[in-house]
Amino acid sequence: MSKVKLHNIWKIFGPNPKYVLESIDPEATPSEIMAETGHVVAVRDVTLDIGKGEIFVVMGLSGSGKSTLVRCLSRLIEPTSGQVIIDDADVTAMDEAELRNLRRHTVSMVFQRFGLFPHRRIIDNVGYGLEVQGVKARDRRTKAHDMLGLVGLRGWENHYPHELSGGMQQRVGLARALAVDPEIMLCDEPFSALDPLIRRDMQDELLNLQQSLHKTIIFITHDFLEAIKLGERIAIMKDGEIVQIGTAQQIVAHPVDDYVLKFTEDVPRAKVLTAETIMNPVEGQARPSGDTVPFDTTLEKLIPRISASNGLLSVVDEQGTVIGVLDRQTVLVALGEAT
């Protein structure tokens, strides 16, 4: 079930974006367009379909247009052309009041540099979205208090943001986004400004929260490891375009080009690749030969299994049907590519 749909989103920065959009040469690279017209093509013809309750990661280097793309979603940046559909409602056609309503109730955002209000206490930062909605002071305090409990910051209500560490500040950012009970959360590199250890904690925390909250999360990052850890699906952006969409395994196993390949090089493949992605598929009905392994067994766990077996493993799906076979050579080759 899809929650958010983007159709052919373009964003061009410059004095006359509409004109550039019409006259654009589909083959031209951004630097050529820049040199020719003085315009920056930040997002280029992006079409996406994001499911309800999914963590969808948009990944790319800085300048690849991912932050612009996510801002087009709630029109913090106005797309030059294209359509954004949320729950069958056309966001791009909304007037100002409807748009504000969407931002107040449906979509909330977590920012890379936190975007906390330095002049408000933590509790009032978390309650800000509710305050904007017009919720009464007492109710929003209760809610904000609950949210602080959820992110483990109870007791810090009356402090000011500058008194908290970076990780704690981003927890506040998270609590603030959650306080309005949004259906969609946009996370713009929320953990990039944090130390590696704290970043890992925050990733775990986000996954934890998601297990009970089931929000639709669109998560921006430039860190591929973060992307494969969090994302059910990952879209990789380059020069404003999406070059590949897929699950972590799909991308690691079959990168579409050198750009994507470069990201996957640092990935511990043994932990990402599964039996399903490296097996030799079998057509039609087949009887299991040798031991069976579930399709989602990681390469790491396949190694002891295959060395203990007679050299052949059958891969089965959820129903126990054999969908492919693995031999020692296949496993070793997959592992070899990993190192």
Binding site for another protein (CB under 8 A): 74, 76, 100-105, 107-109, 111, 113-121, 128-129, 131-133, 158-160, 163, 176, 180, 186
CA dist 300 and 297 (Å) reads 8
97-135 exposure pattern, b = at least 16 Cβ within 10 A, e = fewer? eebeebbbebbbbbbbebebeeeebbbbbbbbbbeeeeb
Nearest to 99 by CA among 66, 72, 74, 119: 74
Nearer to another protein, 179 or 334 (CB): 179
Nearer to another protein, 215 or 269 (CB): 215
Query: CB 59 → another protein: shortest distance, Å?
Result: 21
Nearer to another protein, 119 or 287 (CB): 119
Query: CB 240 → another protein: shortest distance, Å?
Result: 20
Query: CB 235 → another protein: shortest distance, Å?
Result: 21
Query: CB 259 → another protein: shortest distance, Å?
Result: 29
Query: CB 82 → another protein: shortest distance, Å?
Result: 20
Query: CB 219 → another protein: shortest distance, Å?
Result: 15
CA dist 197 and 310 (Å) reads 42
Token look-up 């090089």 returns: 265
CA dist 238 and 43 (Å) reads 9
Q: Which two tokens stand for residue 63?
A: 């300048």
Nearer to another protein, 76 or 312 (CB): 76
Nearer to another protein, 55 or 102 (CB): 102
The side-by-side arrangement of strands in the sheet containing 241-246 is: 107-110, 184-188, 216-221, 55-60, 233-238, 241-246
* Opening angle at CA 260, ends 259 and 262, nearest 5: 70
Query: CB 103 → another protein: shortest distance, Å?
Result: 3
Nearer to another protein, 30 or 173 (CB): 173
CA dist 262 and 216 (Å) reads 29
Nearer to another protein, 19 or 117 (CB): 117
| Phi/psi-derived region of residue 155, left when phi > 0, alpha when psi is between -120 and 50, beta in every other case | left
